[in-house]
Chains A and B, each alone.
Chain A
Amino acid sequence: MSRESKITEQHERSDAVQQLDRRQFLNEMAAACGAATPLLCAFVRLPATQADAYEPTEHYYGMGVDPAKCIGCGRCAAACKIENDVPAEPHFVNTWVERYVIRAGGDVEVDSPNAGIEGFSPLENEQGVLKTFFVPKLCNHCDEAPCVQVCPVGATFMTQDGVVLVDDQYCIGCRYCIQACPYGARYLHPEEHVAAKCTFCYHRLVEGLVPACVEVCPTEARVFGELEGLPTPLNRFIRFNTIQVLKPHLNTKPKVFYANLDGEVR
């Protein structure tokens, strides 16, 4: 027997021994696990079930918006339409971007062409512009939401984690909520014939992801996160900026917080 063939034989034998050991080991382990599983389950939460279970009571969401950072690219509004299957027509939006142009005399011009999805064309008349800025808008997920109050059947509701949603299997399409929303954040879905609105991308939240508009914003003009607990990014945003909410006199208690917002924004 040549030296090479000896080595090969040795390898094959040792492999066979190893395989046998592995098989034995696995069999024994399986038996042991089978016996121990009830015991284990009683004391340890398995990682697999932990990932599946989203616990809404452990969260309370809000959003911070910094208009100074918004460049009006409209990626947020575009991403939202795709992520949430919002009707493609221009007049159904969950989120949109407004451009404010304030002239020296105090005149204010606001526009939001196609919700800002394609961005904004340059100003036609740049003379006498005092300041100009963009403001992203969306449902404020108000703590005292007028839409939740007026819904005759309770199809619009607030989740335990603070998100205002519409049950589309239950909404009767009376549109009272759309009338009651001071922010123009709702519309009647043209195909479903039910009220529709921003959900903070709830389907993403339960997966541990942030809303699509936040994800795609290139300048981090939107900060999403937890409102409860001090050291959260959102609470740092609220702490280090002068905060304003939209239409505070209506006492709707919005959970979308704007940093250093201009008084002209309604």
Chain B
Amino acid sequence: MQGYIYPNEFELQWSLLIVLYPYITGLVAGAFILASLERVFNVKEVQPTYRLSLLTALAFLLVATLPLLAHLGHPERSYEIFMTPNRQSAMAMFGFVYAWYLMVVLLVEIWFDYRKDMVAWYRDSKGFKRWLYYALTLGSTDISEKALRFDDSAGRWITIIGIPSAFLLHGYVGFIFGSVKANPWWSSVLMPVVFLFSAIVSGIALVLLLYMITTLFRWRPINMACLDKLAQFLFYALVVDFSLEMLDFLHRLYESEESIEILSQMIQSRLFLSLIVLQILLGTVIPLVTLGLFSPGLKRGGFVKVRPEAKQLVYLACAVLIQIGIFSIRWNVVIGGQLFSKSLRGLTVYKVEFLGIEGLAMTLGLLFLPFVILWILVKVLPPWTDQEVGRLAKATG
């Protein structure tokens, strides 16, 4: 502790779990927006990642509520958010935004996209799997040309609704923080927009990572055109994201409101590692420069030409750094916003505990869980577009 803090500010209210929540929803929104690119804007190169993105978004969305639930003082009363929401409250909208996104957008889009394959798998399998796939088709086994045309058109419409919904989902999370006028670190109209673009960055980086890793484990060649396109989008999203963050930073500095002194102190001491080193230097500037040089973002083929294997390693390193950077952004927003007193006269400290419901172990567990869910989803609904799956679908369809 340093300086003066109000007596009730000694305990930090939102801990590591609340850092995890915007991180996970960001990945959901980002992965979905990437999938939408292929579908709505017909970006053929990223097609190998389309279904993987959708399943990734679903896996992470299913986990997104858990850190919130674990954090509540009375999780058994959480249903009250649905039953008696306070319509003035930004947080009360959470249930509806979440339910809309899960039920109306993501599940429906995945269902329409997979229906033809699910029917094929249902006809091709025996025993439990046969019934599982039949249940998943919801009894709709018509795969006539007309029915498939309808699937395609419905999927496209859902995606068109889905893009603003994904924007809503994560912009809304940013709004929860940005609308707290009591907190000068959070209170910013840019917050939802910054959240959104950092979400897109994190989502693309995650899908890029997953695509590379899964392809590697399946002993398939990596589609370099797809990877280049992903890197290109990643670069563009990162440029916008970084510009917005710098705009926010400059705006605060130039306005120099009464909070500027304590916030500067906080950045120089408490947040130096997580903000200056991890978020800006390692998580943004280095990947930005690297992608600018290696990806086709600025010049076809990139400024620096290397063998595809080397390029893959460069992309992999960038994606990992970006994930660290985005997690740091969430940390700096959530924890940073509570490290200074609202009296603007002092700083407090946050010590992460290892065990306990809000500890590091729980956080790592919740971070690992989506990958387990994704693994199951991939087993049930293989997202691969290469020959094996295609042949199966063709033979039975």
Contact = CB atoms under 8 A, between A and B. Distances in A.
Interface in A146-198: 146, 148-154, 170-176, 178-188, 192-194
A173 B10 contact: no
A183 B341 CA distance: 10
Given A182-B181, A184-B343, A90 B74 contact: no
Interface stretch (B80-88, B219-227, B365-373): B80-88
B98 interface: no
Interface string A128-151: 000000000100000000101111
A148 B91 CA distance: 12
B72 interface: yes
Interface stretch (B1-9, B99-107, B192-200): B1-9
Contact of A149 (B68, B71, B88, B344): B88
Given A179-B180, A182-B181, A184-B341, A91 B8 contact: yes
Given A91-B7, A172-B73, A149 B182 contact: no
B4 A153 contact: no
Nearest to A137: B6
A151 B75 CA distance: 15
Contacts of B384: none
B181 A193 contact: no
B88 to A, nearest CB: 5
Contact of B4 (A91, A110, A173): A110
A148 B94 CA distance: 17
Contacts of A187: 8, 11
B255 to A, nearest CB: 13
A184 to B, nearest CB: 3
A54 to B, nearest CB: 26
Given A91-B10, A112-B4, A174-B72, A182 B85 contact: no
Greatest chain A CB density within 10 A among B80, B86, B90, B182 is at B182
- B contact residues, range: 35 or more
A216 to B, nearest CB: 19
B256 interface: no
A188 B91 contact: no
Contact of A194 (B9, B73, B88): B73
B92 interface: yes
Greatest chain A CB density within 10 A among B86, B176, B338, B341 is at B86
A179 B14 contact: yes
Contacts of B10: 90-91
A164 to B, nearest CB: 14
Given A182-B181, A250-B182, A188 B13 contact: yes
A114 B84 CA distance: 38
A249 to B, nearest CB: 9
Contact of A175 (B4, B14, B181): B14
B77 interface: yes
A152 B91 contact: yes
B8 A185 contact: yes
B250 to A, nearest CB: 22
- The A interface, classified by DSSP as helix, strand, loop or mixed, is loop
Interface in B171-196: 176, 180-183
Contact of B91 (A110, A176, A192, A193): A176
B73 A173 contact: yes
- A contact residues, range: 35 or more
A174 B342 contact: no
A250 B8 CA distance: 20
A123 B120 CA distance: 82
A179 B180 CA distance: 7
A88 to B, nearest CB: 13
A5 to B, nearest CB: 80
A112 B7 contact: yes
B44 interface: no
A176 B11 CA distance: 14
Interface in A57-113: 90-93, 96, 98, 108-112
B72 A173 contact: yes
Contacts of A137: 6
A181 B182 contact: yes
Nearest to B186: A179
B7 A96 contact: yes
A142 to B, nearest CB: 11
Given A170-B80, A173-B73, A266-B344, A93 B7 contact: yes
Given A173-B73, A175-B14, A250-B181, A153 B80 contact: yes
A248 B172 CA distance: 27
Nearest to A117: B7
Contacts of B5: 184
B13 A182 contact: no
B215 interface: no
A183 B86 contact: no
A115 interface: yes
Contacts of A170: 77, 80
8 contacts: A93-B7, A110-B4, A150-B88, A150-B90, A152-B89, A172-B80, A183-B6, A184-B341
Given A96-B6, A150-B89, A180-B180, 4 more contacts: A153-B80, A154-B84, A179-B182, A181-B182
Q: List the 8 closest pairs (A to B, CB-CB), nearest first.
A: A173-B73, A184-B6, A193-B73, A182-B182, A91-B10, A154-B86, A110-B4, A152-B91
